[in-house]
Structure 1
Amino acid sequence: MSKRVLMQEAKNRIHVVFEREHCRSGMEQVPALSCIDEPGPLRACLDKLDHLVGLNGVKEFVKEIYAWLEINKRRRAVGLSADQQVLHMMFTGNPGTGKTTVARILAELFREMGVLSKGHLVEVERADLVGEYIGHTAQKTREHVKKALGGILFIDEAYSLARGGEKDFGKEAIDTMVKSMEDYCNDFILILAGYVEEMEHFLHTNPGLPSRFPIRLHFTDFSLDELMVIAENMLQERQYRLSLTAQEKLRHHLSKQLAVQDQPFGNARYIRNIVEQAIRNQAVRLLHMRYTSKEELMTIRGEDLRFHHHEEKQRIYSWYNEKG
């Protein structure tokens, strides 16, 4: 019994189907050039992706890209044509939804697959690209493109390049990027990131942009349960844990924040700020204790979780015997 891989491309989507088939005599068997289950750098990249909380749609698409690259290797090995696809991408979504993290994993994955020679990530924003006088912006933009050769150039809040109108130097950065995508078409991958509506407006500032970004991934906000898992993971990495009361307090606070519809939510970035502040608060609390047990040093209590006064005024009571 062997695996047969069927590919069907539709709007840059690659569908991989594994079916059973009996090996027929006389048919040439194409050996797998790399195996997704074998330990190594490639498997480590995919494991990093799998360990991210949520992002199921993004994970599936990344695995489609992996499948397409792998099958192209097998096609070339038996003398078949292997068309290249443009891999420049657009990531949309609120802050803290994992866009930069996924871009970094993609850089490593593409290096292991032989798409990128270096696999590094160069992260920039408007201030890094826009200069102060005519010609300065083009120079700065070209410099960052050259730094990104062999890897990924990631432009966060890319829509800010188009905010100033026709006379703004941001337009010069956009035009320079379009030309660089032609000059170095296979030497780097450009990923633009930002809010959904702003990025759609940005695409229409240059007629050459929409067709150059065939891959568009949307990063949805995390659910309440996913945010709690992210918080617990962050604490576990630092060898801390939440007490039962702290869990209830954090869940209640996040539930209220998610219910606010008129402002973007910070997602994992917001969780990181809460976690780091709670750790500092715990340190101040424990400093006044002469003796502290290992359990006390590891536990974040409800009183250590403090939110802005206008966001959280209601005290959370718990059956668990603890302050806060």
Structure 2
Amino acid sequence: MDEGFRRRRRSERASGPKRGDGLEPILKEIDELIGLEPVKDEIFRLVDFARVVSLKKDRDLPVSNLTFHMVFTGPPGTGKTTIARYIGRLLYELKLLRKEKLIEVDRSALVGTHLGDTARLVQDKVKDALDGVLFIDEAYTLAGGGGATGKTDPFGQEAIDTLLKLMEDHRERLVCIFAGYTTEMRRFVEANPGLKSRISRTVEFPSYGGDELFQIFESLVEKNGFNMTEDARDEARKVIDDLARNADENFGNAREVRQFFEALQPIQAERIAEHLDEVDDIDQIDNETLMRIEEDDITYYAEHL
């Protein structure tokens, strides 16, 4: 091989981005997320700890058998999957994971219908997630209700037992994050001592308040190129305040706001389409009009909830 080529490739590698260079930008992205202040604090503490562990490993200093397996608890739509992806990116930048990836699964991806199926399914998913993060949503369903009902679930228990063994076998190459409702997840962890002993921390995700939900809505409007009249903005705020006021434990938080935003788009389009026959030239409808959400769009949505 041409020595000049080797030198050029070495120079390119030396001048290119290095693992670790992306750490601060990721932390900045997390800090700029709407709400989730206690979650951010916990993630920043995790990063401080991980930095020290990474430094010790770089210097061949002794490090105890540490793991970064976690439990995420809280209602749906509060950013658990998003934060899990960030954790994968952070641990990759800190050289504690070899790959920047997240594999998301739930009970249906881990539990088979016949004897022996479950162990194989779990092994396959763990293999896919090796050197990255395995995110298990609604993990409590593996225990027939998370230990809350006392029901036995042999297939779910087989998935848990197989996963525990693989977590131990691949402790240097796998981070598992178990997620679900707060009460169910606490019971699930308490009912599985082997799992509890392997969890390094639990992160509680709070519901969003009305102000935060409205900020999320405004960000969706802006990111998708729409604009709102002031009257539309006031009406949207009322809708979102009502959503927050009537929220229960099953409230979807940011997911509900996204559904609201997505439902507005066909309503807005139908309003505009009604006026197409009234113009001689379709070019008379300017781009601002096409991308404007008006008060009537919001009130129509509210009346047809």
* TM-score normalised by L of structure 1: 0.78
- Give 1:310 deviation, angstroms: 7.6
| Closer/same/farther in 2, CA of residues 171 and 76 from structure 1, 3 Å limit | closer
**3-state SS of paired residue (2:285):** coil
Residue 138 (str. 1) matches residue 124 (str. 2): no
Residue 242 (str. 1) matches residue 228 (str. 2): yes
Q: 1:72 — aligned with what?
A: 53
Deviations 1:118-151 (A, max 9, x none): 1200000111111011110111011101100011
- Give 1:97 deviation, angstroms: 0.3
| Closer/same/farther in 2, CA of residues 73 and 128 from structure 1, 3 Å limit | closer
Contact 1:243 1:302 in 2 (8 A): yes
* Structure 2 CA distance for aligned equivalents of residues 82 and 45 of structure 1: 25
| Closer/same/farther in 2, CA of residues 234 and 167 from structure 1, 3 Å limit | closer
- Give 1:161 deviation, angstroms: 1.0
Contact 1:161 1:173 in 2 (8 A): yes
**3-state SS of paired residue (1:115):** coil
Q: Counterparts of 1:45-124 in structure 2 under 5 Å?
A: 45-75=26-56, 80-83=61-64, 85-124=66-105
Pairing partner for 2:139 from 127, 133, 158: 158
- Give 1:52 deviation, angstroms: 1.0
**Which sections of structure 2, spanning at least 5 residues, go unmatched?**
1-19, 146-150, 277-281
**3-state SS of paired residue (1:119):** coil
Pairing partner for 1:209 from 195, 200, 221: 195
More off after superposition, 77-86 vs 227-236? 77-86
* TM-score normalised by L of structure 2: 0.83
Contact 1:231 1:275 in 2 (8 A): yes
* Structure 2 CA distance for aligned equivalents of residues 162 and 309 of structure 1: 41
* Structure 1 CA distance for aligned equivalents of residues 144 and 301 of structure 2: 33
- Give 1:45 deviation, angstroms: 1.6
Q: Which has the higher contact order (CA 8 A, sep 6+)?
A: 2
Pairing partner for 2:24 from 35, 38, 43: 43
Structure having the higher helix fraction is 2
**3-state SS of paired residue (1:154):** strand
- Please report the RMSD computed on the Cα atoms of aligned residues, expressed in angstroms: 2.2
Matched to 1:303, the amino acid is D
Matched to 2:110, the amino acid is L
More off after superposition, 233-242 vs 73-82? 73-82
Deviations 1:21-43 (A, max 9, x none): xxxxxxxxxxxxxxxxxx94223
Deviations 1:141-195 (A, max 9, x none): 1110110001100011111111173244111111111111111111110000000
Residue 302 (str. 1) matches residue 295 (str. 2): yes
Deviations 1:231-290 (A, max 9, x none): 111111111122222222222122222222544211111111111111222122222334
**Which sections of structure 1, spanning at least 5 residues, go unmatched?**
1-38, 312-324
Pairing partner for 2:266 from 277, 280, 286: 280
Matched to 1:246, the amino acid is A
- Give 1:214 deviation, angstroms: 2.5
| Closer/same/farther in 2, CA of residues 79 and 203 from structure 1, 3 Å limit | closer
Pairing partner for 1:196 from 145, 157, 182: 182
| Closer/same/farther in 2, CA of residues 250 and 120 from structure 1, 3 Å limit | same
Residue 253 (str. 1) matches residue 246 (str. 2): no
| Closer/same/farther in 2, CA of residues 169 and 76 from structure 1, 3 Å limit | closer
Pairing partner for 2:157 from 160, 171, 182: 171
| Closer/same/farther in 2, CA of residues 252 and 83 from structure 1, 3 Å limit | same
Contact 1:104 1:121 in 2 (8 A): yes
- Give 1:78 deviation, angstroms: 6.2
Matched to 1:249, the amino acid is E
| Closer/same/farther in 2, CA of residues 131 and 74 from structure 1, 3 Å limit | closer
Figure out how many residues of one structure are paired with residues of the other and give that number: 274
Identity of aligned residues (%): 37
